[in-house]
Amino acid sequence: MPIFRNNYVPSVTKSLRDLLRWQWQRLRARLPPDPTLPTPQVAADLDFIRRNALAGAAMIPAATWIGHATMLVQADGLNVLTDPIFSVRASPVQFVGPSRALPPGIAVSDLPHIDVVVISHNHYDHLDHGSILKLARQTGGSPLFLVPLGVKAWLERLGIGSAAELGWWDRYVHAAVGGGPVEFHFTPAQHWSGRTLSDRNKTLWGGWSVLAENLHWFFSGDTGYSKDFTDTRERFAARQTPEQGGGFDLALIAVGACLPRWFMQEQHVDLGEAVQIHLDLGAKRSIGVHWGTFALADDPLDLPLHDLAGTLRGKQVSEDAFFLIPVGETRQLPSRISKHHPPVRNRDDSSQ
């Protein structure tokens, strides 16, 4: 079985000694501190989400934050979930481990039919056993699971056969019903993998670059800062023409679980590095994810709420370009091919 490595830093994993040092320090300092602000949450606009899901080629590009790194992206006739976790705990068991600070923005039972699930890596807060099984059993049949090298075997052990496994720069083309082809590219990130003591870096990790007629979007997964993101922009530069503004229309970039920096820097970006990834990608707009849901490191859950404005000023990036949204909120996005969206109709509407 191969051992995977990063492009620019051979290994980001820490020694057992460093792990114990970190855990002792956080225990003594009683970290993470309690947040002073709650993670914002709004009731999901399920009516819009469901009508949009049935709109086919008339689908309005939209992103709904469900919590942590889980986003529902609706575009080009497909309903796509990133790293779905709906469980109470991000853990191999549900009686111990990091627990949710607030419920998912949409319950699994309220989701539209999910066409594709993209997985960035196999850590428990990104590849959740219970959530994967529920999605595989959704009414209407399992979604397609797009996963890194080595993860397909894990799905097969759960009885899930609707999956494709990709390495860095591999592409999967999905022929969306009612829309044009959607390209899913698995792109490099700087991280690591492992679910047990014996499988460290035996499966791959990365981000997703999704290119289609109406929306080009990017999902970082977990990552440290590296040249991988300028590499990604350069890789797709010919596809993102100046006439359409260049770069990605939307980037979903992890911003949490970043402290202490001596332990986390090579594997999790902080806010400044996340905004730099936004710039490296040439993204028109970015949404910060991977925060406010599970306390996984020494930073409080609300750190991005306090620090984002100052970080954006320091990077000379507008608040309209890089922002946070409440759990449950849907952000509609402009289409690449039209400034005006056709109306979204329900397939049961007798006027059709």
Nearest to 126 by CA among 267, 24, 2: 267
- Per-10-residue mean pLDDT of the chain, 352 residues long, equals 90 90 96 97 98 93 98 97 98 91 98 98 98 98 98 98 98 85 97 94 98 96 98 88 74 97 97 98 97 97 98 97 98 80 42 34
**pTM of model > 0.85:** yes
Query: Can you list the domains of the chain with their CATH numbers?
Result: 16-332 (3.60.15.10)
Specify the pLDDT at position 338: 65
Specify the pLDDT at position 237: 87
Alpha helices in the chain (DSSP H): 16-29, 46-53, 129-136, 152-157, 228-235, 261-264, 271-281, 303-315
Measured distance CA(42)–CA(37) in Å, rounded: 15
Measured distance CA(340)–CA(346) in Å, rounded: 19
Specify the pLDDT at position 163: 98
Cis before residue 38, ω within 30 degrees of 0? Answer: no
Specify the pLDDT at position 337: 81
Nearest to 81 by CA among 139, 127, 39: 127
Residue 135 main-chain phi, psi, to 5 deg: -70, -40
Specify the pLDDT at position 351: 34
